Every structure is written in structure tokens, then in C-alpha cells.
């Protein structure tokens, strides 16, 4: 409260009747923050809360197109969960998603850190050039990036095949990248890492500015090797940022949909290359099996919630500290 | 001494070369999109790639905007984005004031809500949103998409605006209160003008996320005439995928341009807002 101290001081000087009125005013003031957050809470409550209630309800019902038109599902208890948890595709998709997420996050963080350290070392001109380039990449809409990626990697006249062949990496003439699951998901990984790097690099670079230069210099004078300086000085200072970026990447990559769905292309999506979001989309929405889809959604939301706990707690604590 | 200096200069050059290579690799896709959009068809499908179109053509851009539903879908995107952002920014600003200037019971719960919602995977919500909106005949309607977007844009705006508000010293407001201004007066005369840049930056960023959104638009709008421009672009190839790459890249460039321009304008402010807490440690 802006004026609580002056309120208290004034309160002792005033007569009882005025004090009572004053209390009324204070109660009105106490209501101010609630009035301010009310619209947001109301909108979120209705638009998110109500569907979430429906999500739980749907997950215990048989609910297909017929039920959608009839506006009523048939209660089936936990049958949907039973069906999903006994679906070998679910477990294989989960495993694939975990491996995929790990690969994406590790690549993003390692490359991100490397480029951030590189930014410190290059000369000013190169630094401006590289960071502007990163911002440009950052601004690319995901759907646009997918189209460009597909054009670069198509087997007939994709520039990637040409460059790889010219660089003597191998003969990639008319090489089709969209045949095996591994190759498909590798391309998706490259696309995601490429898109995620700018945010990670720029954030880490901002953090590197915090590393005290004299400390590094002193270590250098003492003859410390650069990787020791990195491990003992730089990394501990960057720890909070690295932690936040890593948990954000885990959450984003685990639930990623647009990049794999569009780059692999709907016609080539099979149960053999599902990621979690795509599994959910295909089994629940595309096949109009909303009840089973709801069960998958709940399982997925629970997994992401578990992954988010660390991040949300950290952000909340930081938010309170800044206050 | 000179040998060591020469060694250092050599190392500097080495780092610069690595930096330039990283730059080229990162920027290449963007360059390739724009360059392809201006090439002739012969140059696009040729055995050897043409790096720079020396005689640029606008034919692909004309082709792209003449495709069915381009203008419809651009209009839809603009409607959805502006309504979503306009409503969200007003409501979010109020809540941000509450977070940045008041202590109240339940505050922490509200913060958890604001941060937690932004972490929800969107795919996890398509099914209940689709079913609920279908019940109220809001599928295939822009209004249904707008309310859906608001649930995600609101928390983002609340959190970002709160960051900007914390950057404005409380003393200013307190001084005005002592001078006899009312709370509303302080709000209008002091907070609002100071928040100008923050409000603009947050709106622009909300504009970008909404413009780029794909999965909700894909699920909640079925009619090609009712879709947003991102979904339009995703359908550009059709099912055959044997394609007019030039037109596809021209369409991609057109979709990306407003985003790139806006993003470059506000990136610095928002990048700071997103991670200010983290950087401060």
C-alpha cells in the first residue's frame, strides 16, 4: 500500500467517528488489488478453467463425433486411461519424446553457451554482425521457418544436398531426408535448435557481462587454463540463468508440435515417428476420439506440470525478491 | 613480446573467422528464403543453385498474393491479433499494477497462475477447447479463437508489464499523492505516460506471438476462408508437395515481414524484460 504508514499515523489522531469512516476507506483500499486482478482472473477462469473441467470429464467418457453432435458423452470410468496406458504406442512415443527432448536441450545449451562465449571473444564488428543475425533469426515465425527448412532440404533441388556434396561430406545427390524416423527427427532437431539459439545465446551473453573481469584476469595471471576459468568462475555465476534456460527448453521441446508436424508433413506422420503432442493430436483430434484424447492430454499435462515445478518456483521466488 | 602480440592477433583473427562462419550458417535460411523469392523458376530448379538473383523478379510475389484466400486470411489474422491484443493489454495492465504496487493475500497464487499458464503445452488443450467451443458454436468463428488466444496472451502481458512497472520508482507516485493527487490522478498523469514504451513493446510482442500461432488456429478454424495467414501458409504446398518453391518462399517472406519489422523494433526491451530477473540473479 502506498499510504499505509500515513494512514496509521492519522488514525491515532482522529476521533472515533472519523476513524470508523477511515476504516471503511481502508477496507475499500484493501479491495483495490482484487478489483484490479478480477478481470484477468475472470477471463482465465472462464476460458481456461471451464475447458479444464471438461477435460477431466471427457477423459472418463466415450466421446466421439456422434457424442459431439449429441452434446453428451457416455461415461466409461477409467477405460480411456486404461487403454492409453496399455497402448505400446504411447510408451514408445514417450520414450522417443524423452530422447528427442534430451538431444534438443543438450544441443541448444551446449551450442548456445559456445556461441555466447564466442561473442565475447570476437572483435566488435563481428559481434554486432553476429548478434544482429541472431536477432533476425529469432524473429522468424515458426511456420515460415518450417517452409524454408523444407525447401532447403528437399531431395530434388535442396541446397543442403548440393552443399554437402560440394564439401565432399558424401554423395547427397537426390538424397531424401524424409525417409527414416531418425533422419526426419534429426532435421526437426536442427530446426528447433536453430530457432532456439538466438534467445539462449543473447540471454547467456547478457549473463556473461556479469562475470567480473578482474577475477578472470587474476586467474589468468595465476596461470589458470581457460577451461578451468570457465568451470570455476564463469559457470557458477551463470548457474541461475543456465538453470532457467534449461528448464524452459525442456518444457518447450517436450511439448513441441508445429515444427515436427509441419516439417515431417501430415502424410508422412505415422505411429513410428510420433512425438507426444502429435500422438495426442492424431489419436484424439484427428480421429475424433475426444475421450481418449482427453486422457492423453491429462497425462501429458501432468508430465509437463512435473517438469515445470522447478521453473515456476524459481520464477515466483525471483519475482518476490525483486519486489 | 612482439611474438606474443602476433600470437594474440592471430588468435583474434581465428575467433573472428569462427564468428563469421556461425553468422553465415545461422542467417543462411533467412537469406535463402528472400533470395529464392526473387529468382526465376529456371534459377530455382537448376542443377546448380543460384546464390543471388541478379535480375530479381516479382512474379512469385504476384502469384502468392493472387492465391485463393490470401487476403481473407490476412484480414482474419489482423482482426484476431488486434482484438486479442487490445483487450489483453488493458486487462493485463490493471492486474500488473496490482502485482507491482500492492501486497495482498492470494498474490502468490496469482503469480503461480500467471507463470504456470504460460508453461502449458498448447497441444494439451486443443481437445477440451475444441469440444467446449463446439458446444457454444464458436468453432470456425474468429471470436472463439480470440478468447482462446487471450488465455495465453493475458498471463504473458501481466508478467511483462509488471516487470516494466517495477522499473518505475514508487517515489514519483508517492510524491504526487502527498501533493494531493488522487489515485486515479496518479495513474493517469504519472504511471500511464511513463509506461508508454513498456505498453508498446508488450503489445507488439503479444502481436507477434498471436500472429505466429499455429495449432489453435489449425484446430479451431476449419474453413479456408476463415483461417489465419499462418495456417494459410502451412497449406500452401497442398498435399502433393510438388511445388512452386518461388511462390512458397514469396508467401513465406510476406508472412514474416511484419513480424521481423516489429520484432527488430522492440526486441531489446522485451529480451530484457523476459530475463531481467534471471540476469540480476
Please report whether residue A263 resides in a domain. Answer: yes
**Does B112 sit within 8 Å of A33, measured CB to CB?**
no
Residue A241 to residue B275: CA distance in whole angstroms: 8
Cβ proximity of B155 and A44 under 8 Å:
yes
With CA atoms as reference, report the closest residue to B35 among B251, B246, B255, B259.
B246
pLDDT, position B238: 63
Specify whether A164 is located in the same domain as A302: yes
Q: Are residues A36 and A106 in the same domain?
A: no
Contacting B residues, span 113-142, partner chain A, CB-CB under 8 Å: 113, 115-117, 119-132, 134-135
Distance CA B21, CA A323 (A): 43
Q: Does A148 touch chain B (CB under 8 A)?
A: yes
As a whole number, mean pLDDT of residues A279-308 equals 94
Q: Dig out the grid coordinates for B180 from the structure.
A: 494531493
Helix runs in A167-289, H state only? 181-208, 213-221, 226-229, 235-254, 258-264, 276-280
Is A242 within 8 Å of A231 (Cβ atoms)? no
| pLDDT, average across residues A9-33 | 61
A39 and A99 in a single domain? The answer is no
Identify which of B94, B123, B214 has the shortest CB distance to residue A36: B94
Task: Give me the mean pLDDT over the A146-175 stretch.
Answer: 90
Residues A33 and A137 in one domain: no
Q: Do A1 and B108 touch (CB under 8 A)?
A: no
**A101 to chain B, minimum CA–CA distance in Å?**
14
Q: Quick one: A43 and A113 in the same domain? A: no
Chain-centroid distance of CA B226 in Å reads: 21
- Chain A interface disruption, residue of B124, B155, B257, most A CBs within 10 A: B124
Q: Which domain holds residue A291?
A: 81-322
**Which of A:181-200 have CB within 8 Å of B?**
194, 197-199
Minimal Cβ distance to B119: which of A47, A48, A251: A251
- Please indicate, yes or no, if residue A303 is contained in any of the structural domains: yes
The reply to whether A43 and A104 lie within a common domain is no
Q: What is the pLDDT of residue B166?
A: 87
A118 shares its domain with A204: yes
Are A141 and A269 within one domain?
yes
Q: What is the ipTM of this complex?
A: 0.89
Please give the radius of gyration of chain B, using alpha carbons only, rounded to the nearest integer: 24
Please tell me the predicted confidence (pLDDT) of residue B8: 84
CB contact under 8 A, A316 and B111: yes
CA distance A41 to A34: 10
Same domain, residue pair A125 and A252 = yes
- Per-residue pLDDT of chain B in tens (281 residues, 90 and over written 9): 577 788 888 989 999 999 999 999 999 999 999 999 999 988 888 878 888 888 899 999 999 999 889 999 999 999 999 999 999 999 999 999 999 888 898 899 999 999 999 899 999 999 999 999 998 989 999 999 999 999 889 999 999 999 888 888 887 777 877 777 777 787 778 888 888 888 988 998 899 899 999 999 999 998 888 999 999 999 887 644 557 899 999 999 999 998 998 888 877 766 554 444 333 32
Tell me which residue has cell 530457432: A195
**A299 part of a folded domain:** yes
CATH code, A205? 1.10.3720.10
Mean pLDDT confidence for A110-115: 97
CB-facing half-sphere around the CA of A23: CA atoms within 13 A: 7
- Decide if B222 touches A, using CB distance below 8 A: no
**What are the residues whose beta carbons fall under 8 Å from the beta carbon of B61, sequence distance 6 or more?**
B37, B250, B253, B254
Question: What pLDDT does B242 receive?
Answer: 59
pLDDT of residue A23: 63
What is the pLDDT averaged over residues A195-217?
89
Query: Does residue A291 form part of some domain?
Result: yes
The verdict on residue A66 lying in a domain is no
Are A154 and A87 in the same domain?
yes
Integer Cα distance of B40 and B35 in angstroms: 10
Contact B32 A258 (CB under 8 A): no
The model's pTM is 0.89
Closest alpha carbon within chain B to A30 = B104
Same domain, A202 and A96: yes
pLDDT of the residue at A16: 54
Q: Are residues A200 and A253 in the same domain?
A: yes
Q: Is pLDDT at A225 greater than 90 in this prediction? A: no
Residue A73 pLDDT class (50, 70, 90 cuts): confident
Residue A259, pLDDT > 70, answer yes
In angstroms, how far is the first alpha carbon of chain A from the final one? 13
pLDDT at B280: 35
**Greater model confidence, B25 or A230:** B25
Question: Do the Cβ atoms of A87 and A95 come closer than 8 Å?
Answer: no
More confident residue, A113 or A312: A113
User: Given this model, what pLDDT does residue B121 score?
Assistant: 92
How many structural domains comprise chain A?
2
The C-alpha atoms of residue B88 and residue B81 are separated, in whole angstroms, by 10
Chain B residues with CB under 8 Å of A149 CB are 29
pLDDT recorded at residue A1:
33
Taking the C-alpha atoms of residue B192 and residue A275, their distance in angstroms, rounded to an integer, is 45
Amino acid at each position: 500500500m502506498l499510504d499505509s504508514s500515513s494512514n496509521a499515523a492519522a488514525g491515532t489522531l482522529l476521533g472515533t467517528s472519523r476513524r470508523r469512516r477511515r476504516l471503511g476507506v481502508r477496507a475499500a483500499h484493501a479491495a483495490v488489488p482484487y478489483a484490479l486482478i478480477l478481470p484477468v482472473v475472470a477471463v482465465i477462469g472462464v476460458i481456461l478453467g471451464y475447458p479444464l473441467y471438461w477435460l477431466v470429464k471427457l477423459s472418463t467418457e466415450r466421446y466421439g463425433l456422434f457424442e459431439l453432435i449429441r452434446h453428451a458423452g457416455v461415461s466409461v470410468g477409467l477405460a480411456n486411461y486404461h487403454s492409453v496406458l496399455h497402448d505400446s504406442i504411447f510408451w514408445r512415443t514417450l520414450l522417443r519424446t524423452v530422447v528427442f527432448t534430451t538431444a534438443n536441450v543438450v544441443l541448444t545449451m551446449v551450442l548456445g553457451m559456445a556461441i555466447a562465449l564466442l561473442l565475447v571473444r570476437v572483435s566488435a564488428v563481428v559481434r554486432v554482425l553476429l548478434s544482429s543475425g541472431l536477432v533476425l533469426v529469432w524473429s522468424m515465425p515458426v511456420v515460415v521457418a518450417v517452409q524454408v527448412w523444407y525447401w532447403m532440404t528437399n531431395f530434388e533441388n535442396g541446397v543442403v544436398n548440393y552443399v554437402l556434396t560440394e564439401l565432399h561430406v558424401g554423395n547427397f545427390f537426390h538424397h531424401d531426408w524424409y525417409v527414416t524416423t531418425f533422419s526426419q527427427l534429426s532435421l526437426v532437431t536442427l530446426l528447433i535448435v536453430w530457432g532456439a539459439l538466438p534467445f539462449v545465446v543473447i540471454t547467456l551473453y547478457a549473463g556473461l557481462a556479469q562475470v567480473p573481469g578482474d577475477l578472470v584476469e587474476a586467474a589468468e595471471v595465476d596461470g589458470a587454463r581457460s577451461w578451468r576459468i570457465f568451470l570455476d568462475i564463469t559457470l557458477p555465476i551463470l548457474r541461475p540463468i543456465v538453470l532457467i534456460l534449461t528448464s524452459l527448453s525442456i518444457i518447450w521441446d517436450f511439448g513441441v508440435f508445429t515444427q515436427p508436424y509441419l516439417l515431417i508433413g501430415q502424410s508422412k506422420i505415422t505411429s513410428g515417428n510420433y512425438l507426444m503432442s502429435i500422438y495426442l493430436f492424431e489419436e484424439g483430434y484427428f480421429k475424433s476420439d475426444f475421450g481418449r484424447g482427453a486422457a492423453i492430454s491429462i497425462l501429458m499435462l501432468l508430465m509437463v506440470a512435473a517438469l515445470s515445478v522447478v521453473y515456476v518456483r524459481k520464477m515466483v521466488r525471483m519475482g518476490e525478491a525483486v519486489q | 613480446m612482439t611474438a606474443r602480440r602476433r600470437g594474440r592477433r592471430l588468435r583474434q583473427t581465428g575467433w573472428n573467422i569462427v564468428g563469421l562462419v556461425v553468422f553465415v550458417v545461422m542467417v543462411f535460411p533467412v537469406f535463402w528464403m528472400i533470395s529464392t523469392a526473387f529468382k526465376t523458376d529456371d534459377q530455382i530448379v537448376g542443377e546448380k543453385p543460384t546464390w543471388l538473383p541478379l535480375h530479381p523478379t516479382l512474379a512469385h510475389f504476384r502469384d502468392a498474393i493472387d492465391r485463393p484466400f490470401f487476403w481473407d486470411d490476412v484480414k482474419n489474422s489482423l482482426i484476431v491479433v488486434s482484438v486479442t491484443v487490445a483487450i489483453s493489454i488493458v486487462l493485463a495492465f490493471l492486474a500488473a499494477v496490482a502485482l507491482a504496487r500492492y501486497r495482498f493475500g492470494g498474490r502468490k497464487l496469482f503469480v503461480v497462475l500467471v507463470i504456470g499458464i504460460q508453461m502449458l503445452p498448447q497441444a494439451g488443450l486443443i481437445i477440451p477447447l475444441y469440444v467446449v467451443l463446439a458446444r457454444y458454436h464458436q468453432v470456425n468463428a474468429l471470436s472463439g479463437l480470440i478468447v482462446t488466444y487471450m488465455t495465453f496472451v493475458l498471463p504473458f502481458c501481466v508478467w511483462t508489464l509488471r516487470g516494466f512497472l517495477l522499473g518505475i520508482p514508487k517515489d514519483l507516485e508517492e510524491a504526487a499523492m502527498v501533493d494531493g493527487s488522487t489515485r486515479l490522478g496518479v495513474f493517469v498523469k504519472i504511471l500511464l505516460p511513463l509506461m508508454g514504451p513498456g505498453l508498446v513493446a508488450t503489445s507488439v510482442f503479444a502481436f507477434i506471438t498471436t500472429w505466429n500461432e499455429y495449432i489453435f488456429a489449425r484446430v479451431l478454424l476449419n474453413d479456408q476462408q476463415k483461417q489465419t495467414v499462418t495456417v494459410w501458409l502451412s497449406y500452401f504446398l497442398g498435399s502433393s508437395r510438388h511445388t512452386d518453391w518461388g511462390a512458397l518462399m514469396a508467401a513465406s517472406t510476406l508472412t514474416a515481414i511484419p513480424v521481423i519489422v516489429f520484432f527488430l523494433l522492440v526486441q531489446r526491451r522485451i529480451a530484457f524484460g523476459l530475463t531481467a530477473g534471471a540476469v540480476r540473479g
